[in-house]
Structure 1
Amino acid sequence: MNRIQHTIGLVVSGALTIETRPRYCLRAARQVVEHANGWEERRFFRELDWGKYRTAENIEQAPDTPWARSIEHAFIERGWTVPVEQARAGDLVFSRVPEDQGHVGPIGLGPDGRLWVLENAEVRRGQHLRGALNWVPLDEWPGITTVGRLPDAWVFQSAFERAHGFTAEFEGGYVNHPADPGGETNLGVTRRVWERWCKSQGHKVKAVRSLTLADVLPLYEAWYWQPLAATLPWPLSAAVYDLYVNHGPGNAKRMLAQAQQARPNASPLVQALALTDVRERFYRSIVAARPSQQVFMKGWLRRVHAQREWLKANAEGEEMPSKVFIRDTNGKNVEWDGKPTVYGGVTLKRYPDGAVQLERVAPPAPDPKDIPATPLK
């Protein structure tokens, strides 16, 4: 997912507020990049080390305030530029219009599929949003001098980040439920796990109640994503990651094996959905064995149902293949399990992308001894 594009969409729709006062184009652009990456205010400048690239005019007139032209100079000196013909959603575009201090705006895809620029400007052009914000087609943006290319890590969300986005919705904040065997927990990380992580990294143990997402993401990626999920195709990787977090490595591996046995030749999405079925049965077995856990069942099932819908919505265009039914010896239609089989003289085989191949089986050649001799006429 393009995080810059997503953030621009929030601004255009009015769901996110950025600087709307005129003459603050750089602040507006900075806020887009920082929101997209979950950064604190002004981190964009620190990441660029902007002080090294201040223009003489910037130093003379406003030594502590970055100008768009100085940020443009930083991109040029770092080699973070591309020709305007190669611009893409997530880039920053610079110009000297309307003034020599510079002008800047982030690029995104517009409603017509072309590249557009979100800008803070005194003039009104393109689609006026509110305050000083405009949404302007790139080819109508005047005086372009540089297209700055942000690092991919600032623009595109990794598979791990996408997967954790779902998991984080259900891990919640600080809890210390007396019926939860995990004990004191924050952002899904138990006190025991947190202390073990800190010891492995040589860090001072921060109080569990005070943990932030920035504290725990490295732990999640190293201990819960990399061992197994990182080796699998999307979105199966996301489904396995959530299991790894919620049930531990042993259970995650066993449930993955069961899902792949049930759908051996299916696509990653179909296997991921099969995994949610295995997971639901696992939850029910927990309650059957320990009735005291019934208090958590509603939340567990809500997570499973939400994951099914999330997987289908985030499968990167993969379509759910139609179910294939075979009539059994009793005349009943049963869903085919995906394993290669022969039915009614036709071979059925499902490929990894979910496609089903039907191939007629040639009848066996008759034995020559069984062919009656044809009398000569």
Structure 2
Amino acid sequence: MIDAVIAREGGYSNHPADRGGETRWGITKGVARQHGYQGAMRLLPREQAVDIYTRIYWLRPRLDDVAKRAPALAAELFDIAVNMGAGIAIGFLQRALNALNRGGRDYGDIAVDRVIGPKTLAALEYFLSHRGQKAESVLLRAVDSLQGARYISLAESRPANEAFLYGWLAHRTRP
């Protein structure tokens, strides 16, 4: 997953419309600085980017726990976390689980607190084990829908984001 993100994000970038400013391997200058890198962004080592992706966007939000239950979903949540932040990715998961609980008949609504904890994992486990073979793909589609809607909203609210909308949507298209 990390290799795919790095390949997609490419090397160094400093697009004038990107509020993130300078990036390398998809890591913004601000994130790099928060995690100890003080050098020129053009020179951020790939290994340091991999370490940041692993610690901040995979392990800290507990996507490894999601991957044990739903690997494709965890990969998508990772991608969203990298692009929008882990809290938003987890919030999408929690909102989708709540919307798919059949009015609370399957499991009670969980707090959309943007944290993967025992209640989120229990709801995920119940959903996957009780909704059949397509459960993970249905949940993945719900999360993708929330992601797409957010991208459209970002482009509508800030016209400069239109420069990125096609790319945001293009690499998420599933066959």
Matched, 1:182 2:20: yes
Q: Deviation per CA, 1:15-59: give whole Å up to 9, x if none.
A: xxxxxxxxxxxxxxxxxxxxxxxxxxxxxxxxxxxxxxxxxxxxx
Q: Deviation per CA, 1:214-267: give whole Å up to 9, x if none.
A: 221111111110123112031111111111110012211221222223444353
Equivalent pairs counted in the alignment come to 140
Counterpart in the other structure of 1:206: 39
Pick from 62, 77, 80 the counterpart of residue 243 of structure 1. Answer: 80
Pick from 288, 291, 299 the counterpart of residue 156 of structure 2. Answer: 288
Counterpart in the other structure of 1:172: 10
> For the residues of structure 1 that align with 2:65 and 2:7, how far apart are their CA atoms?
23
Counterpart in the other structure of 2:89: 252
Residue 274 of structure 1 and its aligned partner are, at CA, apart by 2.1
Counterpart of 2:12 in 1: which secondary structure? coil
Opposite residue 18 of structure 2, the aligned amino acid is: D
Counterpart in the other structure of 1:278: 146
Q: Deviation per CA, 1:100-135: give whole Å up to 9, x if none.
A: xxxxxxxxxxxxxxxxxxxxxxxxxxxxxxxxxxxx
Identify the structure with the greater helix proportion: 2
Q: Deviation per CA, 1:173-231: give whole Å up to 9, x if none.
A: 10001110000000010111111111xxxxx6232101232221111111110123112
What runs of 5+ residues in structure 1 fail to find an aligned partner? Answer: 1-162, 199-203, 310-377
> For the residues of structure 2 that align with 1:296 and 1:253, how far apart are their CA atoms?
23
> For the residues of structure 2 that align with 1:189 and 1:219, how far apart are their CA atoms?
8
Which residues in structure 2 correspond to 1:248-327 (within 5 Å)?
248-264=85-101, 265=127, 266=131, 267-305=135-173, 308-309=174-175
Q: Deviation per CA, 1:145-173: give whole Å up to 9, x if none.
A: xxxxxxxxxxxxxxxxxx22332232221
> For the residues of structure 1 that align with 2:100 and 2:154, how far apart are their CA atoms?
24
- The structure with the largest alpha-carbon Rg is 1
> For the residues of structure 2 that align with 1:216 and 1:290, how far apart are their CA atoms?
28
Counterpart in the other structure of 2:58: 225
CA 1:288–1:250 in 2, change beyond 3 Å: closer, same or farther? Answer: same
> For the residues of structure 1 that align with 2:82 and 2:137, how far apart are their CA atoms?
20
Identify the structure with the greater strand proportion: 1
Q: Deviation per CA, 1:267-293: give whole Å up to 9, x if none.
A: 333312321111111100111111221
Opposite residue 17 of structure 2, the aligned amino acid is: A
CA 1:195–1:290 in 2, change beyond 3 Å: closer, same or farther? Answer: same
Check conservation: 1:176, 1:185, Cα contact below 8 A.
yes
Opposite residue 294 of structure 1, the aligned amino acid is: E
Counterpart in the other structure of 1:193: 31
> For the residues of structure 1 that align with 2:73 and 2:19, how far apart are their CA atoms?
28
What runs of 5+ residues in structure 2 fail to find an aligned partner? Answer: 102-126
Opposite residue 12 of structure 2, the aligned amino acid is: Y
> For the residues of structure 2 that align with 1:168 and 1:272, how far apart are their CA atoms?
22
CA-atom RMSD in angstroms:
1.7
> For the residues of structure 1 that align with 2:45 and 2:4, how far apart are their CA atoms?
17
CA 1:212–1:270 in 2, change beyond 3 Å: closer, same or farther? Answer: farther
